[in-house]
Amino acid sequence: MGQPMVTTAPPAGDAPSALRRAGRSATTTPGRLSVIWAVLVALTVAAGLVSALTAQTKQDTLGDLVEQREPLAAAAQQVFRSLSDADAVAASAFLSGGVEPAALRERYELDIAQAGAAIGDAAANLGADPVAAGHVSTLSRQLPVYTGLVETARANHRQGYPAGAAYLREASGLMRSKILPAAEALYSGDYDQLKAAQADARSFPWAPAALALLLLVALLGAQVYLTRKTNRLFNVGLAVATAAVLVGVVWASAVLFLAAGKVADGERTGSAQADVLVHARINALKGRADETLTLVARGDGPGYEAEWGQLVDTLTGDGPANLLRQAQDMARTDPITAAMADADAWRAAHQRIRELDDSGQYENAVLAAIGSDPQSAATAFGRLDGSLDSAIRAARTEFATATAGAGALTTGLSLGLGALAVVAAAGISTGIRERLREYR
């Protein structure tokens, strides 16, 4: 007898055979339904995951704007403000003659302390930004040099040595050439990051929108296919899934649209207005230092006077470069209106100083510059600085309120979109399963 023929079956895991079986299955109606189910569920999971993550990212960005980005920009602005004020106060104290008034000395020391603390905060939040690190390093190294020069100027002035004025001018030159540019660059960098974060918070979520649209088209296409194949007009499961996706799209669209509007409002009437006001205050502080240093120089300070005119033109001029008018166009507030009047009063007081000094009445000019009289430049500038401070605080409050409101709108959106994706996936599975049962 011959040996029986033995046939070897292909291994169960043979890939080509599995592919052929899958291909044959896909040509049948149950196979097509299974493919439709797999594609719809995959799209639902992808759309739900991407949408939930995008919503959470938006909420995190809005929280970061209020809790970190804007406070960092404000801290950098405080560095510049404190240093500029210290320079102006040092010059005013020098003009007072002999031992400077205790109030001016305390204000100078407070400015230096506040600047040092703000520089420390900036150093603690540098992250991996080498440019900002360079600015902080410049501030940390040069500030002690500046204070040393000021103390030398005070010591010489107290003893009646003319070198005191030279040391004070050297200190102010260091402040203007190295320290203040570093402080302004630090602020500008932080403000640029703030603007970038605001733009990100307002940006349209293209990826979730594209996936949601694709899912809706796929759901509608699946229902049309089932209607033609089964002659049944309505599939409850797929209808529920479509409704869940539509609810998610409408909800997310409304929330993100409203949130973007609030972020835009917070930028225009808040952070952008504050930035304009900060630069107005910077110019005012520089101008106040110029005003006093012109008198300290005693006839050798035409450069200070020329710069004063350029700076104050940005506060009282009629052209588009007037920063206070720019800020008022963004949002009219009482502090800005008061600042405009105070700037005009300061300009008038400065004109009296120049008239007195130019006519040889130096002592009276000094008194008009640093005296406590209501018509003095010191009084007018003090009101201006206070009005600008109030306006900046109001703008920061507006920013915080609007941006926090945007964040509140997004609360729960991420979890809600995830839950709706689960409902949609369940509806798809239920609707397809009901049709598959008819073929068993």
pLDDT tens digits, 319-331? 888 999 999 999 8
**% pLDDT > 90, the chain:** 57
Whether the predicted pLDDT of 7 surpasses 60: no
CA gap 365, 355 in Å, rounded: 8
CA gap 191, 161 in Å, rounded: 44
pLDDT number for residue 22: 46
Say if CB 251 and CB 72 are below 8 A apart.
no
Average of per-residue pLDDT across 382-395: 94
pLDDT number for residue 3: 47
pLDDT number for residue 27: 60
CA gap 352, 342 in Å, rounded: 15
pLDDT number for residue 409: 94
Whether the predicted pLDDT of 1 surpasses 60: no
Average of per-residue pLDDT across 198-206: 93
Sequence-distant (6+) residues with CB within 8 A of 117 are: none
Q: Which two tokens stand for residue 412?
A: 């729960």
Whether the predicted pLDDT of 17 surpasses 60: no
Q: 31: exposed, middle or buried (C-beta count within 10 Å: 0-12, 13-18, 19+)?
A: middle
pLDDT number for residue 332: 86
Q: Which of residues 380 and 17 earns the better pLDDT score?
A: 380
Whether the predicted pLDDT of 228 surpasses 90: no
Predicted confidence band of residue 281 (pLDDT cuts 50, 70, 90)? very high
